[in-house]
Amino acid sequence: MRAFICGVKGDRLEAEERAFLREAAPWGVILFRRNIEAPEQVSRLTAEIRDVLGRRAPILVDQEGGRVQRLGPPHWRAYPAPSEGSHSVIGDRAYSRDAARVAVVGRSAAAGLMAGGVAPVMKHIPGHGRARADSHLELPVVEASREDLERVDFAPFKANADLPMAMSAHVVYMHIDTTAPATLSKIVIDDIVRGHIGFDGLLMTDDLSMKALTGSFRQRAERAIGAGCDIALHCNGDLAEARPVAEGAPALAGKALARAEKALECVRRIEAFDVAEATRAFDAAMRAAV
């Protein structure tokens, strides 16, 4: 089992993908809209992935609500954007402009997911809200002082540092490390993520195929792991990119393995979940919030 997560191309595995998964042995597989048609199909795809890997591998999905929602109508309910009416790069993907409110709402969202047997992933640690460039397309640079970042941007993560997983930010913080984005910065990961914030859960990279990063895909994976990320993430299902990411990711071992195992405890220990009651409670909370 290697320290990376990969995507697949479609709604079922191709023969080449089956061979790649068997050989590369990723820790988990992430699904996007291209992989999702209906609940029965998703269940079959999940079972197929786990059968190829020979274990109950984590299946991840990019699901925030609003414009980032891979499980949606008609088979899944539509969820509202977290912060309607805002704009910019993160925009309505954020819970609020107020750091204290973000911390509280983020905690509630994570608790709800874990109650239903889903391990949540905080993102993008240590903070993406000040970015004025889309890291899918270019490298964002944040000029804010460390004092301001600690007071605002880092605060919600610090308040939720005990959560099981987090995703790094492809963002340069000029007053912390001018040489590399957080994903590739040992300074940011050691001093801020593990130090000031105090997060000791499983740290995965943001998607290594994004244009904010440079260098070969193997180099990106190696640099991220070398900086202190536990897991390298590659999303688009292109095996020409995924293979070198897998080559650059080591076997999952040591602290990274321990964090990975601990991160899934909230999934393993779930005993019962009343979907109908949870839906009623969610609807009531949304009505009260309007």
Please give the single-letter amino acid code of residue 226.
G
Please report, for residues 6, 9, 43, 58, 117, the alpha-carbon distance to residue 31 in angstroms, rounded to integers and kept in the order given. 9, 9, 12, 11, 17
Residue among 51, 98, 136, 175 flagged as catalytic? 136
Model confidence at 73, in pLDDT bands (50, 70, 90)? low
Where does residue 165 rank: exposed (0-12), middle (13-18), buried (19+ CB within 10 A)? buried
For 105-145, what is each residue's pLDDT tens digit? Answer: 889 889 888 988 899 999 999 998 887 766 787 889 999 99
What is the H or E stretch that residue 64 is in? strand 63-65
For 27-44, what is each residue's pLDDT tens digit? Answer: 999 999 899 989 999 999
pTM of full prediction above 0.85? yes
62 included as an active-site residue: no
Q: Give residue limits of the domains in the chain.
A: 2-289
Of 39-48, 213-222, 269-278, minimum mean pLDDT range: 269-278
200 included as an active-site residue: no
Write the secondary structure of 107-123 as one string of H (helix), E (strand) and C (coil).
Answer: HHHHHHHHHCCCCCEEE
Architecture of the structural domain at 2-289 = Alpha-Beta Barrel (3.20)
Residues forming beta bridges with residue 232, ordered by sequence position: 4
Asked whether 59 and 48 are in contact (CB, 8 A), the reply is: no
* Phi then psi dihedrals of residue 9, to 5 deg: -80, -40
Query: Measuring CA to CA, which residue among 152, 60, 52, 28 is closest to residue 99?
Result: 152
Residue among 92, 153, 177, 206 flagged as catalytic? 206
Residues forming beta bridges with residue 5, ordered by sequence position: 28, 233
Q: How far apart are CA 63 and CA 68, in angstroms?
A: 6
